[in-house]
């Protein structure tokens, strides 16, 4: 079989699988994200091994393209009108869930005898969520209202605070271990986040004015994809967070484009094919066999992360004067965790090789759990809250 035929067969199969999983998801309690991930596990390397290398070798590029579109759409939710109504609630919940989760996970892991350095790093990693899965579940559910809007805005900010906490944690562990030179990670984080914010703003302001001029009223698909992928390419070249850059660009366009009502609406029409391929390949990259190696530390991590998200959302909702429904259920909707956590684990493993085995084992195994089980909780919450 030629590479071209392998590519086309795999592409067609994954897109048709997306349709099938969408149909099954509408008739069962399982969201299509979880179904696609499980499908990817079945056809992945640990089981049937049906995905050609032409796809698996390019998973990072496909993932980046999907996350860029997700980030831009999330940023588009952060409009001035929405922020005026719920800025306090969004900030309090996003900050509280990130900080409380990090503290709870760190404390629990240290209580079961884990070294402080590993506990701190895992606590910071636990604060991250899965924006792609959450966005897709909201779109699939068709739920439109205050709760789903708030959820997407919290997710948009959640990974920002997670990256900040992770950078502080890396610097703190470096100091604890006597590796003062690694404290420069804090300065790297400032560039990673601050540079992304600047890049998103620099691209967002001219885009807000120029888009939608060729076809009055709404931007065209080519404009949308061109700017989103340009943002991602520059961000990766500058070594800053492309997810944060795309979120900022989306927020700027949503707030300053006065001549069209919704930024790059056309992206939603082509996002699902990209997301289908992304979730199938993400499932294929998961290693279910790692669940057997999770051990006490993994069970403690999963339990503590769930407790931290629930407690943090409840506390943040109370401080942000959120309604009772939000305080009770937001934490359950924030359980999915995927690529951002894996990226943090890889960075920490490179910084501290002595922690590599424990970090990767716990994060990979817990990612399998949260990426498959988390979306089920999120969709159940969305259905319950309307």
Domain ranges in the chain? Answer: 3-385
Which two structure tokens, joined as six digits, stand for 124? 């910071």
Please enumerate in sequence order all residues whose Cβ is within 8 A of that of 297, keeping only pairs 6 or more positions apart, or say none. 109, 112, 114, 358, 362
Q: Is 13 exposed, middle or buried (0-12, 13-18, 19+ CB in 10 A)?
A: middle
The residue that leads in pLDDT, 274 or 261, is 274
Q: Is the pLDDT of residue 263 over 60?
A: no
Overall average pLDDT of the 242-250 stretch: 85
Please enumerate in sequence order all residues whose Cβ is within 8 A of that of 49, keeping only pairs 6 or more positions apart, or say none. 43
Percent of the chain past pLDDT 70, that is, above it, reads 85
Q: What is the pTM of this model?
A: 0.75
Count other Cβ atoms within 10 Å, centred on residue 253. Answer: 29
Which of 123-137, 166-180, 355-369 has the highest average model confidence (pLDDT)?
A: 123-137
The residue that leads in pLDDT, 294 or 155, is 155
295, 58 in Cβ contact below 8 A? Answer: no
Buried b (16+ CB within 10 A) or exposed e, 68-100: bbbbbbbbbbbbeebbeebeebbbbbbbbbbbb
Q: Is the pLDDT of residue 363 over 60?
A: yes
- Assign a CATH topology to domain 3-385: Na+/H+ antiporter like fold (1.20.1530)
**Window from 59-63, 233-237, 337-341 with minimum mean pLDDT:** 337-341
Q: Is the pLDDT of residue 218 over 70?
A: no
Q: Which of 245, 237, 233 is nearest to 196 (CA)?
A: 245
Please enumerate in sequence order all residues whose Cβ is within 8 A of that of 326, keeping only pairs 6 or more positions apart, or say none. 89, 93, 147, 150, 313, 317
């Amino acid at each position: 079989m030629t590479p071209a035929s392998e590519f086309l067969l795999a592409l067609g199969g994954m897109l048709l699988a997306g349709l099938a999983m969408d149909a099954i998801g509408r008739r069962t309690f399982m969201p299509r994200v979880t179904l696609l991930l499980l499908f990817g596990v079945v056809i992945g390397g640990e089981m049937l091994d049906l995905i050609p290398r032409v796809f698996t070798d390019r998973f990072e590029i496909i993932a980046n393209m999907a996350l860029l579109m997700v980030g831009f759409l999330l940023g588009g939710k952060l409009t001035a009108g929405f922020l005026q109504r719920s800025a306090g609630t969004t900030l309090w919940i996003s900050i509280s869930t990130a900080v409380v989760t990090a503290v709870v996970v760190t404390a629990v892991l240290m209580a079961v005898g884990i070294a402080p350095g590993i506990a701190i790093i895992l606590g910071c990693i636990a604060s991250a969520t899965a924006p792609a899965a959450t966005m897709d579940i909201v779109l699939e559910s068709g739920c439109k209202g205050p709760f789903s809007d708030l959820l997407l805005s919290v997710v948009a900010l959640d990974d920002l605070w997670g990256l900040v906490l992770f950078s502080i944690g890396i610097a703190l562990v470096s100091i604890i271990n006597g590796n003062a030179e690694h404290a420069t990670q804090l300065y790297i984080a400032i560039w990673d986040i601050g540079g992304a914010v600047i890049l998103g703003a620099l691209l967002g302001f001219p885009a807000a004015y120029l888009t939608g001029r060729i076809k009055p009223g709404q931007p065209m698909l080519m404009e949308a994809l061109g700017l989103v992928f340009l943002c991602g390419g520059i961000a990766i070249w500058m070594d800053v967070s492309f997810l944060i850059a795309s979120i900022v660009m989306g927020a700027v366009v949503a707030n300053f484009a006065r001549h069209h009502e919704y930024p790059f609406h056309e992206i939603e029409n082509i996002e699902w094919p990209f997301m289908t391929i992304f979730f199938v390949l993400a499932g294929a990259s998961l290693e279910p066999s790692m669940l057997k190696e999770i051990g006490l530390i993994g069970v403690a991590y999963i339990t503590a992360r769930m407790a931290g998200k629930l407690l943090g959302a409840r506390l943040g909702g109370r401080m942000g004067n959120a309604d009772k429904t939000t305080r009770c259920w937001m934490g359950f909707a924030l359980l999915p965790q995927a690529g951002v956590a894996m990226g943090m684990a890889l960075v920490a493993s490179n910084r501290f090789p002595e922690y590599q085995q424990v970090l990767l084992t716990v994060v990979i195994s817990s990612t399998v759990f949260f990426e498959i089980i988390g979306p089920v909780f999120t969709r159940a919450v969305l259905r319950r809250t309307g």
